[in-house]
Amino acid sequence: MALLVAFAGAAENPALKIYKGERRNDTVYAAKQYVIAITDPGAKATIDGKEAHVYKTGSFGAQVELKPGENKIPVQVQLGKKKTKAEVRFVYLTEKPKPKPVKHGAEDKDGHFVVGNLPEQTAPLATPLNIYTKEGAYMQYGNGGDRLGGSKMNFLDADIPLTAVGETDNLYQVALGQSHFAYIPKSSTEAGGPGFNVFNTGSVSVANIGPCDRITMSLPGRLPYWTRSEIDPSTILVSVYGATNNTNWLTQNNTPEMIEYVDLRQDESDVLTVYIRLKDEYQWGYSTYYNGNNLVIDVRHRPASLELADLTIGLDAGHGGEYVGAVSPSGIAEKDVNLDIVLKAADMLRKAGAKVVLTRDGDTGPSMTERKAIWKEGKVDLAVSVHNNASGNPLTPMGTSAYYKHISNRALASDLHQSVLTLGVANFGLTGNFNFSLNGPTDYPNALVEVLFMSSLPEEELLSDPEYRTRIAEKVVDGIKNYLARVKASVK
């Protein structure tokens, strides 16, 4: 939206501020445009001579139809007998200039991600490059990306040798055997090492060690792996690239609690997949890592009790500190709305007896890595991140949505989503394979809730109300309770 103030009234008259969007000039290429402005709550407003509803926040707006060329849209507010006027100017061009070619994944001059018509080409390396993974490294499926980055396969342990065979500006293409490739950020690697190898596996053991069932695979060296889940039936799969099955001993040392059985399948000549069939319908997380050269997969046990009083719940208030998040037309910061909802939800959970681990309890801005570490160190049983959205039509309710990365977390996201929908808000959808960083961990069930839209005037009004934010917090807590009830009902 391109909204420029031509003039405004004197200070003693009702306030009038034209909301400015992302566009840096008044030239537009669509006949329908939004005019959004802010005045004193209780004032009356007109846009282009038509009355506009003023929300409790003071925000108001309308869609206007432009004619080709210059358009001057009058805006007026009145409080009592005093009036303030302004004018919004648009220049409507019916044909948009052809954009210059932009590489896939590049940023424009305003720092916005631009997707080109074709994916960025991977240039083969003249000589393969041996590299090691660094702490926090991850693989992604392709060389694409958006504001959340490329779609991640999974995170990798440090010190895993790989061989880069191609590159883009920021990524290496790595060979995972004869017929598989992935991409890894250059910043997550360092040069050196023996490169990608093929190893025979040694013995494999399955043991109940108390908090989890542990699978240990003996290997001569570290190999890259790809982890994922299936839900029908509940299964964890870990494909080890460069592994050939030479395991003659797959030993179960005692009775696993979560694992029904483990099987090794040589899917391809140099890809060995560990199939882990679970007894329960729902997972409580798993971790994959190396202990020396032994590949370890820890499958967490279901908590002994599914009562809130016996659980540890992780809550995250999105953004914070210098990371403001979305800002509503009237100036409400998303970081403040998120924090208020989360603190209210934390109080409710604590009153139910739960232990709560917060990624922030004030106006701080921990990194995504720090937030995940807080939850992991706090040994959360499940975790929920709370955000609010922005974009779309500012004049209509856009609705609530929930997100998950791993299919095993769909039920949690769905229960949270359905709970918030009982407020009577619009349904913006349930989204899977979402590449948000806090949805990435497999160590515990997790989901993201985007409650409403900061940019929607009717939803901005709702979010500005402390009592309504209390109701939202109640629905987040109810969603957690509903998920626990779902899991409890599934336990045989």
Q: What are the tens digits of pLDDT across the range 372-413?
A: 999 999 999 999 999 999 999 999 999 999 999 999 999 999
Q: Which residues, other chains included, contact 98 with Cβ-Cβ below 8 Å and sequence gap of 6+?
A: none
Domain 123-191: which CATH number of 3.40.640.10, 2.60.40.1120, 3.40.50.1000, 2.30.30.40: 2.30.30.40
Give 23's pLDDT tier (boundaries 50, 70, 90): very low
Looking at residue 396, its pLDDT comes to: 97
| Per-domain residue ranges of the chain | 16-92, 123-191, 199-300, 308-487
Which fold, 308-487?
Answer: Aminopeptidase (3.40.630)
Size of the chain in residues = 492
Give the residues across from 317 on adjacent strands.
386
| 125 vs 123: CA distance, rounded Å | 6
Looking at residue 7, its pLDDT comes to: 38
The domain defined by 199-300 carries CATH number 2.60.120.380: no
Q: Are 19 and 34 in contact (CB under 8 A)?
A: no
The answer on pLDDT for 110 being more than 90 is: no
Ranking 88-102, 187-201, 271-285, 335-349 by mean pLDDT, the lowest is 88-102
Radius of gyration over alpha carbons of the chain, in Å? Answer: 27
Give 145's pLDDT tier (boundaries 50, 70, 90): confident
Looking at residue 120, its pLDDT comes to: 62
Looking at residue 113, its pLDDT comes to: 37
**SS3 per residue for 165-199:** EEECCCEEEEECCCCCEEEEEHHHEEECCCCCCCE
Give 195's pLDDT tier (boundaries 50, 70, 90): very high
Looking at residue 339, its pLDDT comes to: 98
Token representation of residue 259 = 């694992």
199-300 and 16-92 share a CATH fold:
yes
| 451 vs 460: CA distance, rounded Å | 11
Return phi, psi of residue 273, to 5°: -110, 130
Instruction: Name the pTM for this structure.
Output: 0.91
Report how far apart, in Å, the C-alpha atoms of 94 and of each of 28, 29, 31, 32 are. 9, 6, 8, 12
Q: How far apart, in Å, do the first and last CA atoms of the chain sit?
A: 55
Looking at residue 19, its pLDDT comes to: 86
Token representation of residue 436 = 């948000």
Burial class (CB in 10 A: 0-12, 13-18, 19+), 345: buried
The answer on pLDDT for 84 being more than 90 is: yes
Give the residues across from 121 on adjacent strands.
none
Looking at residue 144, its pLDDT comes to: 87
312-317 and 225-231 as β-strands: parallel, antiparallel, unpaired?
Answer: unpaired
Give 427's pLDDT tier (boundaries 50, 70, 90): very high
Ranking 252-261, 420-429, 477-486 by mean pLDDT, the lowest is 252-261
Assigned superfamily of 16-92: Immunoglobulins (2.60.40.10)
Q: Are 235 and 278 in contact (CB under 8 A)?
A: yes
